[in-house]
Structure formats: C-alpha cells, structure tokens
Amino acid sequence: MGADHPDSGFHPQPTGLAAQTARAHSAPQSLKLYSGWFCPFVQRTWILLEEKHIQYQYIEVNPYHKSESLLKLNPRGLVPTLQYDDKPLYESSVVCEFLEEAYPMHTPRLMPEDPYERARARIWMGFVTSRVLPSFHRFLQHQGQEGMDEKREEFLGYIKEFIREADGEGPFWAGGEFGLVDIIMAPWAIRLWVFDHFKGGLGIPGKGEGGEDEGVWERWRKWLGAVEERKSVKETMSEREYYLPIYQRYAEDKAQSELAKATRAGRGVP
C-alpha cells in the first residue's frame, strides 16, 4: 500500500457512480486507462472516453505503490497513462486530443471542425492548464489570512477571463454542444466546493449580487450547471466524503503530489 508515504491514507478505489463506471470497464481491452480515481487530470480522459463510448479497460493505480506495468509505460508513474496498441501515452490534454483524432468514428466530436475555432479551443485549453490550475492550487495551498484575498481574487479573475471568452448563449463553452474545452476545465470546476470547505469561501457572488460582473457570473453559473449535470461528468465522480482527506492535505499545504510540490516551489503544472 505504500503506507509509509504521508499521502497514502486515501480510499483505494472509486466510490458511488464512478465505482459503477470502473466496474463496467474492468474487462481486458487493448486500450487501457491507468487511473487514480481522485485525480482531476485522470477525470479529463475518463470523461472523454465515456462521452465517445470508446471501449477501454480501467486500471486503478495506487500512486504511492506504482505497478511495474505502469512504470514500464511511464517512468514517472503519473496518471492518466494510456496504453494504446501496447504503446504509452500520457499528459491528459495530449491524451484527450489523441483520442479525439484516433477514434474519428466515435461521436460526439469534441473539437470544432473549423481550423480557426479548433485553434482557439486549444488556446483556452492551454489557458486552463497554465493559468486556472496553478491559481486554483495557490489559493488552496495558501496558509494564513494574509494574502488569502489576493489569491482568491487572482483565481476568480481567471475564471472570469475563461467564461468571458465563452459563447454568449451556451450552455457550454462553445455553445450548445459539450466539447473538449469543457472537459479540460470541468474536473476543477466541480471541485470548487473545496474552497467553501477549507478556505472560508470561494467568493463567487450569488445570483443578482455580481454588480457590474453580474452578466459574467450568470454565464458562469449556466456553464457550471450544465457541466455538473453532464452524465459523463457525474459518472466519473466518486462520493465527496472520500475526496475530503485528500484535499485537506492540500489545504494544509502538506500534500506531496507533483502538482502540490510544484505549487509550493512557485512553478506551474509539472
């Protein structure tokens, strides 16, 4: 189990709807997803596989006791790692784009057909990974009240920037259809409750309380509501209580994941 690792006291398997999804994909398949149930980077890939109804085998990985089969594919031992035709692929955004291209007969299409719109989607997917995610963790891992408001405002500013670039009607980022930009952002958006639980509140204004930004926050609420209700999102989420001890270690700035260490050192997503 790797019980000597300070982060190892987590639930070993997905629960709730995610457990049902994992069980439904336990049979051997040529396409294998090496997964950690709690990992938001994994959830990106998992959502996409479910959306496109691609056959895959779900393999749960203990990140503190990595299997030889995983380390042979990915020497860093990080998840998600995909095994495709006995060849490895990793980095969640790369894996998602690969699956979109490698299974063209599987719908829905999650990237725009138009080259300009596809490039624009990549810009905002990159924005999520390079701006939103590090800011999420700077806010979550910040200790003490001094500087907390600054971290909160930085994070909310990135959320506003993201949603201002979304289609005006939605409900999804690019309009009426769920797409890869939504998938890249979704796992962190549906975990925003951690700030209410551990950091005294996220600070997004309630309905009618957004002042000059009310239109922006109304659009955000519409987007988030649609994402939270998406079948593929709900069916790749475990029960909230099992995330709590994991995020408590982040909130106390004691987590030893690669992302937590990178945040602590002032670096971006590793």
The candidate with the shortest Cα–Cα distance to 30, out of 122, 103, 93, is 103
Give pLDDT, residue 71: 84
| pLDDT value of position 76 | 83
Supply the pLDDT for residue 267.
Answer: 85
**How does the average pLDDT of the chain come out, rounded?**
92
Owner of token pair 């994941």: 257
Give me the pLDDT at residue 157, please.
97
Q: What pLDDT shows up at residue 4?
A: 52
Q: What is the pLDDT of residues 126-176, one digit of tens each?
A: 999 999 999 999 999 999 999 999 999 999 999 999 999 999 999 999 999
List C-alpha distances in Å: 213 to 177, 186, 207, 227: 25, 22, 11, 21
Distances (CA, A) of 162 to 127, 157, 180, 222: 8, 9, 14, 14
Which pair of tokens denotes residue 16? 């709730």
Q: Return the pLDDT at 67.
A: 81
Longest dimension (CA), the chain: 54
Note the pLDDT of residue 244: 92
In angstroms, rounded to a whole number, what is the distance separating the alpha carbons of residues 122 and 99? 15
Say how many residues make up the chain.
270
Whether 39 sits among the annotated catalytic residues: the reply is yes
pTM given for the model? 0.94
Which pLDDT value is given to residue 99?
A: 98
Print burial letters for 62-75: b (CB count within 10 Å at least 16), e (below 16): bbbebeeebeebbe
> Which residues in the chain land under pLDDT 50?
1-3
User: Where are any strands of DSSP class E within 162-216?
Assistant: none
Distance, in Å, from the CA atom of 91 to the CA atom of 29, rounded to the nearest integer, reads 21
Q: What is the pLDDT of residue 3?
A: 45
Indicate which residue of 18, 39, 42, 190 is catalytic: 39
Report CA 259 to chain centroid distance, whole Å.
Answer: 13
pLDDT score for 8 = 56
44 DSSP assignment: H
Residue 205 is given by DSSP the state P
Q: Concatenated DSSP letters for 154-192?
A: HHHHHHHHHHHTS-SS-SBTTBSS--HHHHHHHHHHTTT
